[in-house]
Amino acid sequence: MTKPFAPLRRTLLKALGAGLPATAATGALVRDTVAATETGASVCSAPAGSGVSHFFNERERITVDAIVTRLIPNDELGPGAKEACVTEYLDRQLAGAWGSGDNFYRHGPFQSGTPEQGYQMALTPAEMFREGLSRMDAAAARQHGGKSFSQLPAQQQDALLTAMQKGDVDLGPLPSKVFFQLLLDGTMEGFFSDPIYGGNRDMIGWKLLGFPGVYASYTNDIERHNVAYVRPPMSIAMARAVGHRHGGEPHGASGAQPGRAPAAPASAAGARR
């Protein structure tokens, strides 16, 4: 039985709560992120620095902003997917090799497979988004007097997403259940991937969970039991800026400055795409 759709924030934290570090810094990091949003520091442009989208047209971008806002909302725990620039992440991915299905096996026959067989459709991710967003807006208009998805109040947006999750929305050749899962997976990836890919702006997702980022070595910290981990998260770009150097300071060292990454190496591990 498919559970009704609900915004992911509390569900996500409940699932990951057992893995959160017991650190005095976690609460402060979340508060810092909230403050950044309140001052407009995490407001995304379309896209940052260029003024034009890589893939989405203006209407699609507005619709995607509305969708990701409901999937991971801005609430008392901190900024959501929109503030983390998840739409920008998706825009870049869809304009690249993933969007065009370069690494997909795309020869027929195209028929329903088992869950173990994975994706079995002929559409590329870019084709799914273009078709799905258009038909999603059309479904909203049919049900709500011509209003697009972004024009609906949150309760009606959630109801439509719930129906999509159950497979109860007609999106033509694209099963709504498949499209909902694509949106959900992409939103979570954009929220938690390295900022170098366009999402997770200001490391919003990492700060929410207390994730340290891409430090290459934690050997100085492994045996430091019951000591708060206070280093701020480090992104790939930050690691490159410091030349992957290892500062050698323990994570409880007083020399660590809030908001600045210590001179420590970091691996170039990123999102799976």
Rounded-to-integer distance, Cα 164 and Cα 128, Å? 14
Q: What is the pLDDT of residues 30-64, one digit of tens each?
A: 334 334 333 334 457 554 444 578 999 999 999 99
Range of the domain at 262: 212-273
Question: Does some domain include residue 154?
Answer: yes
Question: Does some domain include residue 2?
Answer: no
**pLDDT at residue 68 is higher than 80:** yes
Asked if residue 89 lies in contact with residue 193, where contact means CB atoms within 8 angstroms, the answer is: yes
Rounded-to-integer distance, Cα 1 and Cα 245, Å? 51
H or E stretch at 182: helix 176-192
- Per-residue pLDDT band for 116 (boundaries 50, 70, 90) equals confident
Q: What is the pLDDT of residues 194-227, one digit of tens each?
A: 999 999 999 999 999 888 888 767 777 778 888 8
Q: What is the CA radius of gyration of the chain?
A: 20
Residues 225 and 132 both lie in one domain:
no
The domain boundary residue, chosen from 168, 193, 209:
209
**Share above pLDDT 90 across residues of the chain, in percent, rounded to a whole number:** 47
Rounded-to-integer distance, Cα 139 and Cα 177, Å? 14
Asked if residue 123 lies in contact with residue 173, where contact means CB atoms within 8 angstroms, the answer is: yes
Q: What is the pLDDT of residues 135-160, one digit of tens each?
A: 999 999 999 999 999 999 999 999 99
The domain tally of the chain equals 2
**pLDDT at residue 128 is higher than 90:** yes
**pLDDT at residue 263 is higher than 60:** no
Residues 27 and 138 both lie in one domain:
yes
Residues 32 and 152 both lie in one domain:
yes
The confidence score (pLDDT) of residue 189 equals 96
Residues 128 and 239 both lie in one domain:
no
C-alpha distances out from residue 217 to 8, 65, 266, Å: 31, 36, 7
CA atoms within 13 A on the CB side of 216: 17
The domain boundary residue, chosen from 209, 230, 246:
209
Where does residue 127 fall: left (phi above 0), alpha (psi -120 to 50 degrees), or beta otherwise? alpha
> Which of 196, 200, 167, 160 is CA-nearest to residue 181?
167
The domain boundary residue, chosen from 209, 236, 264:
209
Token pair 């997976």 is found at: 185
- Per-residue pLDDT band for 65 (boundaries 50, 70, 90) equals very high
Question: Does some domain include residue 230?
Answer: yes
Residues 47 and 177 both lie in one domain:
yes
